[in-house]
């Protein structure tokens, strides 16, 4: 009896461990440690429920996402700006920008999940004349250098195989003087993704080391800070001082 009980307890502990690891890998880390194919597979499966679970607030998205971008474009004198939304998902950022009355430009939304992109295409239909969707890898977009005035990538970098490579690609397709709109993972679950997350201060320092200017941090979500940065008009001659979170 004691041997049987010990065996059952060991089996239960083993199953609990396997279940915990599976939850961490598939739910918390969203497949990030298992490779690009697993991440895409998970998002394809999650796509039909994504909008319901996230429950996006258009007014909040206008205030936090669209307003800073429109302000930058107004100060830059860009009326018909070209905006790129990388790892767009169902098009949250793209919709927020296109819904802003002061925005007269166009948006290209890209993602590596076909089903997420299909939903984005459907939700962007009211803006079809100014919106386009395309299947693309954030680390190799296949887009021209300096082709966009605003480049965004939100809630995604930590799930990519090579975030540094993705950052370089985002910077490459951003026009000189253009705005990068990024996010940095924070919050109670950030520590559960070792090697994939870093403090916002460290993230800002990394962006500055890449030559980006005017790096600014905005408090956005429980799990994410919003980080804005400007690509210099000419190659940076010196590293910028790290920004202080607002």
The domains found in the chain, sorted by start residue, are 2-54 (no CATH), 58-230 (3.40.50.150)
Half-sphere exposure at residue 242, Cβ-oriented, CA atoms within 13 angstroms: 10
Strands 148-153 and 131-135 come out as: unpaired
Question: Which residues make Cβ contacts (< 8 Å) with residue 179, sequence separation at least 6?
Answer: 69, 72, 73, 149, 150, 151, 228, 229, 230, 231
The reported pLDDT for the residue numbered 25 is 63
At residue 106, the 3 state secondary structure works out as: strand
At residue 149, the 3 state secondary structure works out as: strand
- Measured CA to CA in angstroms, residue 232 lies from 12, 112, 147, 219, 240 at distances of 57, 29, 15, 24, 11
Residue pointed to by tokens 């693309």: 136
Residue pointed to by tokens 């026009």: 175
Q: What is the pLDDT along the chain (246 residues), one digit of tens a residue?
A: 577 766 666 666 665 655 665 555 666 667 678 888 888 999 999 999 999 999 999 999 999 999 999 999 999 999 899 999 999 999 999 999 999 999 999 999 999 999 999 999 999 999 999 999 999 999 999 999 999 999 999 999 999 999 999 999 999 999 999 999 999 999 998 988 898 999 999 999 999 999 999 999 999 999 999 999 999 986 544 444 445 454
User: What tokens does 42 get?
Assistant: 């998970």
């Amino acid at each position: 009896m004691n041997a049987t009980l010990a065996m059952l307890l060991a089996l239960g502990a083993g199953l609990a461990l396997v279940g915990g690891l599976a939850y961490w890998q598939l739910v918390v880390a969203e497949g990030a440690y298992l490779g690009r194919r697993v991440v895409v597979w998970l998002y394809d499966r999650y796509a039909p429920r994504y909008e319901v679970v996230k429950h996006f607030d258009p007014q909040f998205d206008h205030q936090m996402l669209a307003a800073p971008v429109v302000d930058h474009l107004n100060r830059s004198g860009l009326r018909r700006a070209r905006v790129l939304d990388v790892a767009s998902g169902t098009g949250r950022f793209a919709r927020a920008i296109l819904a802003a009355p002061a925005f007269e430009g166009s948006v290209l939304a890209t993602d590596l999940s076909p089903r997420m992109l299909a939903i984005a295409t459907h939700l962007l239909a009211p803006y079809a004349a100014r919106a386009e969707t395309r299947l693309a890898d954030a680390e190799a977009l296949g887009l021209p250098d300096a082709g966009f005035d605003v480049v965004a990538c939100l809630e995604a970098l930590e799930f990519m195989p090579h975030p540094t490579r993705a950052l370089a690609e985002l910077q490459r397709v951003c026009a000189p003087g253009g705005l990068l709109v990024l996010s940095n993972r924070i919050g109670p679950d950030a520590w559960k993704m070792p090697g994939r997350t870093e403090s916002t201060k460290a993230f800002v320092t990394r962006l500055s080391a890449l030559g980006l200017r005017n790096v600014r941090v905005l408090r956005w979500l429980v799990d994410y800070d919003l980080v804005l940065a400007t690509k210099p008009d000419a190659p940076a001659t010196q590293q910028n001082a790290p920004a202080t979170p607002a």
